[in-house]
Structure formats: C-alpha cells, structure tokens
Amino acid sequence: MTQFINDKESLVTEAIDGLLVTSGGSLCRLDGYPHIKVVYRTDWDKSMVALISGGGSGHEPAHAGFVGQGMLTAAVCGEVFASPSVDAVLAGILAVTGDPGCLLIVKNYTGDRLNFGLAAERARALGHKVEMVIVDDDIALPDLPQPRGLAGTLFVHKIAGAAAQAGSSLEDVAAVAAKVVAGAASIGMSLDTCTVPGSTKEDRIAEGKAELGLGIHGEAGVEQVSLSGARDAMNRVLEKLAPHAGDQPIVALLNNLGATTPLEMSVLANELAQSKQFKNLTHIVGPSPLMTALDMHGFSVSILPVDEALLSALQEPVALATWPGVQALSDVKLERLPDGLSPIQPIASEHPQTRDTITAICNLLIGAESELNSLDAKSGDGDTGSTLSAAARSLIQNIDKMPLADLTQLMPALGNELSQTMGGSSGVILAIFFNATGDACARGLSIEKALSVGLERVSEVGGAVAGDRTMVDALKPALDALPSGLAKAAAEARTGADNTANIHKAKAGRAAYVPKENLAGHNDPGAEAVALVFEGLAKRI
C-alpha cells in the first residue's frame, strides 16, 4: 500500500464525509452519493447571492474546504481529476439558490465548462438567476486559446465571497469576480508528478530537473529546466509572471501543490519576498496548500494586481482554517542577543602544528560526510555526516580566531564553536566535552587525563556509557589507550567502533528508538566518526 485509502471507488465520498464529521456541524451534503457529491453550508438561508464552485477532487482543500461564511456557499465535487456531472451541479444550484441568485465559479476546463454551463441553463429554465465566470489564470501557454484555471481561482472565491457576504447583487458579485479573473495570473513548477489513486505513477521528470508550467491534473509542463536551488526556481516562475504584474500593488498567492514540505515552502516564501522581480509586491497569501494536485512535489504562484477595494475584500476575515489570510510583507525583524549569551572571545594565537592538525581533521570529516550519513540512515535521520562536516567547514573558516597556542583556552573555544555550529545533541555533547577538558587542562592535568575528564563529564550529563552504542564506545577505549600512543588509541577506537555493529539495542541517542534489525551489522555513526578521527591523527602525528 502506497496511500492511506480503502479503495479508489469510495475515496472521494469517504474523504468528503471525513471533512463533514470534523466540521463541527458547519457543513452538510446532499443525499445523492455516489453520483451527486455536493457540500454546502448548514447556516445558509438563501437571503444572499450563493457562490458555487467545484470540479474534480484531488485539489484539496479546494473546493469543499473553502465552503463557509465569506467564501463559497457550496462545492460540487467530481471524482479525482474528473468534472462533476450536470445533475450534480444542478442539484447544488437548486439546494442553495434563493431569489438573489447564484454565481458559478468555474475553472477553464472543457468538462467543467460544459457541465456547469448546461446545469446553469437548466436552472435558468426553472426560474433561477444564475451567472457564471470562467477562471483562466494559467499563463504557462500564452498562445493557448483556452488557458486553464489554476490557484488564482482562490482570489475569485475570496473576493466574490466578500461581496456576496456584504449583500451585493448578483450582477455586482459577477462583475467583481470577472475583474479578478481578468487580473489574476498563475504558473506552477514541480520536481515530480503526482500519484493518481489506482494508476501507475508517471515518471517523466528527470533527476535534477523541474517541470515549469504544468497543470494541476498532472499535465506535462511547458518545459523541463535544470535548477540550482529554491532561488532559481522562484526566479524562473516570477520571470513568467512579470509581464502580468502591471503598476498596481500586487498580492501573491504561494500555493503548495501537495507534497512540498513546510520547510521548503518557507524558503520559497522568503525567495518570493526578497525577489527583485516585483517591486510592487505588497501582500502574500500563504504559503499554504490551497489548490493542490494530490501529492505533487511542487508549488505555484498566483498574482493579482489590486486596488483598495480588492485588497479590502481579500483581507475580510473568514472562519475557515484552510484560508491563511492575507499578510503584508515586512522586513525581517532583528533583536540583539541578551546580555551574557554570547561567549567571551579568547585572544587568537598561532601554533602551526595545531592549526595543521585541526584543519586535517576537519577535512577528514568533510570527506567522510556521505559515509557517515549512510550509516546514520540505518539508525537515525541520516545527517551525522552533514552535521559534522558543516561544523568542520565553519571551524576551518574561523580558525584564525582560535587561541591555537594555549590548550586551556583552545578547548573551551572549540566547545563554544561546536555548540553554535552543530545541530541536535552532538554539538552540546562535544561542547561539554571540550569545555570540561579545558577546565582540566587549566588545573594542570595532562592532555591525556584532561580528555578523560571531559569524557567523564559527558557521561555524567548525557548518561551514555560504553556499551550503549554511541560515540562513547569508540572514545573511551581510545582515551584509555592514549597514554600508550596515538597508534594504540586509534586501534582501540576502531575496535570499539566496529563492536557497535554487534550491539543490536541502543540505550542512548536516537538509535534507542530504532528496531534492532535496523542496527545489526552497522557501526554507530558517532563511534565511526571518532575512529576516523583517531586514525587520521595517528597517521599525521
């Protein structure tokens, strides 16, 4: 099983019922399953213009997730990526339309246009006032006679919804919706295709490539492009949107197409805000999943030039968790660090041999990044090598600030550096180790004894001892053997690290939560790193 579904035939109806049972009673549906899937507001009294949208499912939270006060009155849901039937649309119109009439908000796909259009004609024949707007905000294919409707549809939902909520007439609601459609422009980019339930996943996007201008039903994009990162991705999207920006203030909607992580979306939001493409970008909606394409690993940007009235309508509050609101862009606010947090910087001093040794060890850890990440993937989150290499690179960069000629100052300086540049518990552990070692050196202990004191302090604070499948399994025997020379210490470190492959139950660290079958036969990455360091020292000194 690759998806949490029961079967594709009942997927949409079960998902709709899941939305309803968690709505607190604010939503209901017509009793027409499986062919008629209409979700609408339970508090609707037909005294205002009704807004109805919909289309194929698979774009959640669109469309049913935006049914609520200030946005949609009803959503007509089709099967995954399939238009709802004429009867389903007509049922939705008849269920919520009163004397003020209703506006159908339809994305520009042939099936949606035909089915919503015929339903509108039938509703008019029954005496209802019905208007329809077609959203065609996709600018990926500029020569296409019928541009597709994408996430810019959400601008229409929100602004027309605010007008309807304010009691505007059907003619006025339709007019403001048409104004939004005329100004909205959208384009998307993805690193992967989506997985349609019951179908084989299409694998058309090559490694290292992204697809620009693809549709929300998995349709192929305009082109596949190579990317150098999030900034490059955002700039390519904004270059396509720039001709549609105009001179008015712009609101951008940053949409998660389904499987892009919140961390990635925040990076993309920063790139959007910092971009020089739009000097008149003033507000942002998102980043949020708004109109997704199942599990597509991508994003889209929609822009809308706004006047005061459109911006005010977008900012009208709604009681919908799916709508993230509109936020004014602002600069990153900085506050100085509290007094006493920043460590006292020691006076830098030079010692060529110490400099060369530290640099060599740092380069060794940088070179072992992939190997250590691979080991950590067996028992953790696969980042031990990256964590150590990042700290090593930072240490090389800052080595000129180090008191290399004085061990009593160098050890705590190393600890402070690592505590700031290493993530997770590793940086804290090594900071404790080197600070305690520095204290012992200041008391006159030899470096061999001082290092053992540092290890004792780590065990005291962290609780790990030899046999727990941590770096201590390599570090303790190495330090015990250090008075006999580095070669002996390196040999003991290697034996200790290799022995961790036979420890199938960790008692400390993240590996303690991992099943024993994941640990058997694999060295602990922390212990392996210690062994590599001692082996490097033995070869060098």
First-residue to last-residue Cα distance in the chain: 55
63 catalytic residue (yes or no): no
Residue recorded with tokens 């058309």: 204
Q: Which helix (H) or strand (E) is 190 found in, with range?
A: strand 185-190
The helix-helix angle for 525-540 and 472-481 (nearest 10°) equals 30
Contact residues for 433 (Cβ-Cβ < 8 A; gap 6+) = 415, 454, 455, 457, 458
Residue recorded with tokens 């919706």: 177
Q: Between β-strands 298-305 and 38-41, what pairing exists: parallel, antiparallel or unpaired?
A: unpaired
Compute the distance between CA of residue 106 and CA of residue 206 in angstroms, rounded to an integer.
33
Q: HEC string of 384-432?
A: HHHHHHHHHHHHHHCHHHCECCCHHHHHHHHHHHHHHHCCHHHHHHHHH
Contact residues for 446 (Cβ-Cβ < 8 A; gap 6+) = none
Amino acid, single-letter form, for residue 319: A
Tokens of 313: 């309508």
Tokens of 397: 């960069």
Secondary-structure breakdown of the chain: helix, strand, coil percentages, each rounded to the nearest 5: 45, 15, 40
Catalytic residue (one of 59, 63, 128, 217): 217
Compute the distance between CA of residue 315 and CA of residue 312 in angstroms, rounded to an integer.
5
Compute the distance between CA of residue 36 and CA of residue 20 in angstroms, rounded to an integer.
15
Amino acid, single-letter form, for residue 246: G
CB 247 within 8 A of CB 278: no
Query: Could you please report the per-residue DSSP string of 275-329?
Result: -SS-TTEEEEEEEE-SS--TTB-EEEEEEEE--HHHHHHHHS--S-TT---EEE-
Compute the distance between CA of residue 467 and CA of residue 493 in angstroms, rounded to an integer.
13
3-state SS assignment for residue 107 = strand
> Closest Cα partner for 243 from 161, 195, 303, 179?
303
Q: Which helix (H) or strand (E) is 532 found in, with range?
A: helix 525-540
Residue recorded with tokens 């020089």: 276
Q: HEC string of 347-394?
A: CCECCHHHHHHHHHHHHHHHHCHHHHHHHHHHHCCCCHHHHHHHHHHH
Catalytic residue annotation: 217
